A and B are shown apart, each in its own frame.
Chain A
Amino acid sequence: MMDKLMIVEDSLANVDGGFAFLGRLPYYRGLGLSMVEDLQITVDGEAIPREDVRFSVRGKTYTLDQMETVYDDRWNFGEKATITALKAGGLAPGKHTLEFAVRNRISYLPFVPTTRCVKELALAA
């Protein structure tokens, strides 16, 4: 659910040390960060290594490994988190195909869902 809404339109930008975009949790509620098992970013076919992904909400930034033991913060329902990929030089201006996948550990589900979104976004020159 909410698959198409995971990547926020017009949010792709180069930042210090890489690029970033705004991402939303594809779920009908929020989730404690310890239950977000993985965030996978692929840009133009190139997968960003897990250790190079950062997740930021309300002024706090976490690595994916750190998130696994964060019990006092959340990714709220519909909340736009800044998802950063460390990548030297960032991205070239123009269009890029961005894939974003989220894997959650949901207490009541008899499986571990991964939800995916692919969008073509333009990076301002």
Chain B
Amino acid sequence: MTSQIKRGVSLYSFQNETFQGKMNLEDCIRTCAELGARGIEVIGEQSFWGWPEVGVAEADIANWHALIAKYDCVPVSHDYMLDYKRYKDRPMPFEEQVASVRKDIDFGAALGTPFIRSLVSIDPNVLVAAAPYAEEKGIKLLTEVHAPLHFDHPWIIRIAEAFAKSGSPALGFLPDMGMFLKKFPPCWSAKFRRMGVPDRIADYIEKAYEDRVLSEYVLLEVQQMGGTGPALGMAETLRHNAAFEPKRMLDYMPMIHNIHGKFYEMTADYVEPSIPYDEIIAVLDQGGYSGYICSEYEGNRWIEDAEEPDSVEQVRRQQVMLARLIGETTVPALKTPIAA
């Protein structure tokens, strides 16, 4: 079976470099284009200063379109936040939340993205209320299904039911592959050990994760082993992560329009040690998925205390892996080095 999956990158992946001004928007887009990852996803307020409270200069939006055209790329998604805790003393009123989503729909339309990403904690009724405007603008609102949530969780089922009841084609999902965490990521373990977690406790937690022991039992065991501070923090990660089943996506395929290719670490031989991409791609192909998988490198925060992240190399390795898994015959390669 020929895969219809397309490759992309969320510029979130380059956050360590862009934060420090080591890469600009053009460096990011050129890097993706050279790797053949033509789909570009952005977090609006990371890539565009001013969004949403101040607004974005017309020149910045024009620059985005010029770069997309220059490197023959495709806008995929604007990931918006909806800060419903904007007011310290009161929740944001429902109608104001809906108006805020409409504003992000406009911004997605201005950037030319077919999708905007909704955080999973957003009230589904807000999304249902914003859906007619999204339809009008040709945008889909995709709720990001992200660990510790998953497709069998009651909160996600509630969202799916609300979307189905509305009948709007503008409502869908964007699963984050981090929810299929098969093994405890080596870079997490290394960081907790640097923070002082004794090897015997760290080894126990890694083994307990592989044995799929319920997080509550692991926490108690770590306490009884004398674990404190960082050891409890390491055990706590099991409350927020689990090895859910990639095949659970199959029930939702018609509503899945974009995918976050979350990864924590790509080894030199092109393997993500903790997330089973071979299994994931097989499921997506079985489901006939024809959208993008956008690389989302999140190992940066796990290694930055010890070494400077090399996000470009990490993304390159993941793109090589994705290209192989979807059956491409050429190996993605960079042409332009990023100036140090």
Question: Is the CB–CB distance between A73 and B53 below 8 Å?
Answer: yes
Q: Does A2 contact B (CB under 8 A)?
A: yes
Which single member of B21, B82, B301 contacts A78 (CB below 8 Å)? B21
Minimal beta-carbon separation of A32 from chain B (angstroms): 5
Q: How large is the interface on A (under 10, 10 to 19, 20 to 34, 35 or more residues)?
A: 20 to 34
**List of B residues within 8 angstroms of A106 by Cβ:** 85
Chain B residues near A72: list those with CB within 8 A. 53-54
The B-contacting residues of A in range 12-58, CB under 8 angstroms, are: 24, 28-32, 34-35, 37
A68 in the interface, Cβ–Cβ < 8 Å? yes
Q: Do the beta carbons of B83 and A32 come within 8 Å of each other?
A: yes
Tell me the residues in window 67-90 of chain A with beta carbons closer than 8 Å to chain B beta carbons.
68, 71-74, 76-79
- The residues of B that contact A4 with a CB separation of less than 8 Å are 304-305
B121 and A107 contacting across the interface, CB-CB below 8 Å? yes
Contacting chain A: which of B44-52, B70-78, B241-249?
B44-52
Majority secondary structure of chain B interface residues (helix, strand, loop or mixed): loop
Q: Please, how many angstroms separate the alpha-carbon atoms of A32 and B15 in the complex? A: 19
Contacts of B21 in A (CB 8 A): 78
Q: How far is the CB of A125 from chain B (nearest CB, A)?
A: 29
In the assembled complex, the Cα of A67 lies from the Cα of B85 at a distance in Å of: 14
- Does A92 reach chain B (CB closer than 8 Å)? no
Closest to A105 in B: B85
The chain B residue with its CB closest to the CB of A25 is B19
The A contact surface, by secondary structure, is loop
Say whether A74 contacts B304, CB under 8 Å.
Answer: no
Contact of B43 among A29, A31, A79 (CB under 8 A): A29
Contact flag A1-B301 (CB < 8 Å), given A72-B54, A107-B81: yes
A3 in the interface, Cβ–Cβ < 8 Å? yes
Q: How far is the CA of A76 from the CA of B119 in the complex (A)?
A: 20
A-contact 0/1 string along B56-81, CB 8 Å cutoff: 00000000000000000000000001
Asked if B82 and A29 make an inter-chain contact with CB atoms under 8 angstroms apart, the answer reads: no
Is the Cβ of A35 less than 8 Å from the Cβ of B300?
no
* Complex Cα gap A29–B121 (Å): 18
Find out whether the CB atom of B85 lies under 8 angstroms from the CB atom of A30. Answer: no
**Given contact pairs A30-B46, A34-B88, A106-B85, A78 touches B121 in the complex (Cβ within 8 A):** no
Q: Could you tell me the distance between the alpha carbons of A106 and B46 in the complex, rounded to whole angstroms?
A: 15
* Bound CA span A25–B262, Å: 23
Complex: chain B residue closest to A2, CB-CB:
B19
With A3-B305, A73-B54 as given contacts, are A78 and B81 in contact (CB-CB < 8 Å)? no
Task: Given A24-B19, A71-B53, A107-B81, decide whether A77 and B304 contact each other with a Cβ distance below 8 A.
Answer: no
| Given A29-B81, A76-B45, 8 other A-B residues pairs in contact with their CB atoms under 8 A | A31-B83, A32-B86, A34-B86, A74-B49, A77-B45, A77-B46, A79-B49, A107-B82
Among all A-B residue pairs, the 8 with the closest Cβ atoms: A1-B301, A78-B19, A107-B85, A76-B49, A108-B121, A29-B46, A32-B53, A29-B45
Q: List 23 A-B contacts (CB under 8 A).
A: A1-B304, A3-B304, A5-B20, A24-B19, A28-B15, A28-B19, A29-B45, A30-B49, A32-B53, A32-B83, A34-B86, A34-B87, A34-B88, A71-B86, A73-B53, A73-B54, A74-B54, A76-B50, A77-B46, A78-B18, A79-B49, A105-B85, A105-B88
